[in-house]
Amino acid sequence: MENSKVNEIVTRALEDIEKADKGDVINEIRNRYLAKKSELMGLMSLLGQMSPEERKDFGKLVNDAKTRISEMLNKKQQEIAQKELNKRLEEEKIDISLPGKKVELGGRNPFYLVQDEVIEIFTGMGFSVASGPEVESDLFNFELLNIPKDHPARDMQDTFYIDNNTLLRTHTSPVQAHTMQEAKGQPVKIICPGKTYRRDNDDATHSHQFAQVEGLLIDKNINIGHLKALLTLFAKKMFGEKREIRLRPSYFPFTEPSVEVDISCFNCGGKGCSMCKGTGWIEILGGGMVHPNVLKMNGYDPEVYSGLAFGIGIERVAMLRYGIDDIRKIYTNDVRFLRQFEKKA
């Protein structure tokens, strides 16, 4: 009687398990059939009324039933978990054949492409890179470069004044004076790239802020041949192996003699075109031999030491090199403009 009851419970449980399709249902079935107060466990209370022989058999029957139901529940639970996992994997499948989101890159500004290249060319010739303040004193920006207070050359370099003696530097040349004073009479071989300022009305070729690379070489027996050799190499590396340079007499207060340096036109090769205004030459920088007064004021004996100096306008070189027609494009960070240069670099 009790035995058939056990079998009947097992059959019912197995049927319920078979039908279950969710983890929750399995838990509920487990509770219904195997908890302490379940029908099956309730049958255990009958053990007390049985003979030891019967008790042993019946106990075993109930235990086996419990184990069977439990095993079937576990098996079914695993099946359901696997099914749910498969379903989720199917639903959450990532289509790796889709293209990823593109990271939009700009391009390096031609200004920096040129500045880096100038630095590389001169450091390759043994120059080291110096720097100096952009907020400068009148003394270093003008006086120590042989431009006294009433000197007419100051007119060409009007700038932004902080007070009567402090200004935004108009050129990188004050770094010459700083470097010489720090070197205390020893040889010097530096370039200095940096920002410069002038009170100019901005247009296609003028900007109130621009940049230069200053060059200074001081040693015994330096002559203008060295200047020509250095700048010829620079012109060839920057504008092509076929370039020649020519030095034209000019004037800067801090050099004597002073020169403007032209390169043979890279557009027409020197025959004359609109780029070189029919002359075959394009002006690229200024330079000269360091003025004896500048050497003296900054701690060198001009009878023993001589020096060469030059100043290159970065934007001007960038505009020539890349055919940029308006200096303002260099500063406005339009990606359509910037992207054009990455490949040419």
User: What does the binding site for ligand DAH look like in residue numbers (CB under 6 A)?
Assistant: 171, 173, 214, 252, 255, 286-288, 309-311
Give the number of C-alpha atoms closer than 13 A to the C-alpha of residue 226, restricted to the C-beta side: 19
Looking at the Cβ atoms of 173 and 298, the one nearer to ligand DAH is 173
Looking at the Cβ atoms of 77 and 170, the one nearer to ligand DAH is 170
**What is the rounded distance in angstroms from the CA atom of residue 193 to the CA atom of residue 211?**
7
Q: How far is the CB of 179 from ligand DAH (least distance, A)?
A: 12
Q: How far is the CB of 328 from ligand DAH (least distance, A)?
A: 20
Contact call for residues 277 and 285 (beta carbons, < 8 A): no
Q: How far is the CB of 216 from ligand DAH (least distance, A)?
A: 7
Looking at the Cβ atoms of 297 and 309, the one nearer to ligand DAH is 309
The two tokens of residue 79 are 């099946």
Looking at the Cβ atoms of 214 and 315, the one nearer to ligand DAH is 214
Q: How far is the CB of 326 from ligand DAH (least distance, A)?
A: 21
**What is the rounded distance in angstroms from the CA atom of residue 170 to the CA atom of residue 147?**
12
Looking at the Cβ atoms of 159 and 255, the one nearer to ligand DAH is 255
Kindly report the three-state secondary structure assignment for every residue of 38-59.
Answer: CHHHHHHHHHHHCCHHHHHHHH
Q: How far is the CB of 172 from ligand DAH (least distance, A)?
A: 7
Reported as type and span, the H/E element at residue 87 is helix 52-91
Looking at the Cβ atoms of 193 and 288, the one nearer to ligand DAH is 288
Which residue type is seen at 82? Q
**Closest CB to ligand DAH belongs to which residue?**
311
Which residue type is seen at 44? M
**What is the rounded distance in angstroms from the CA atom of residue 171 to the CA atom of residue 142?**
10
The strand pairing partners of 312, in sequence order, are: 213, 285
Q: How far is the CB of 285 from ligand DAH (least distance, A)?
A: 7
**What is the rounded distance in angstroms from the CA atom of residue 282 to the CA atom of residue 264?**
6
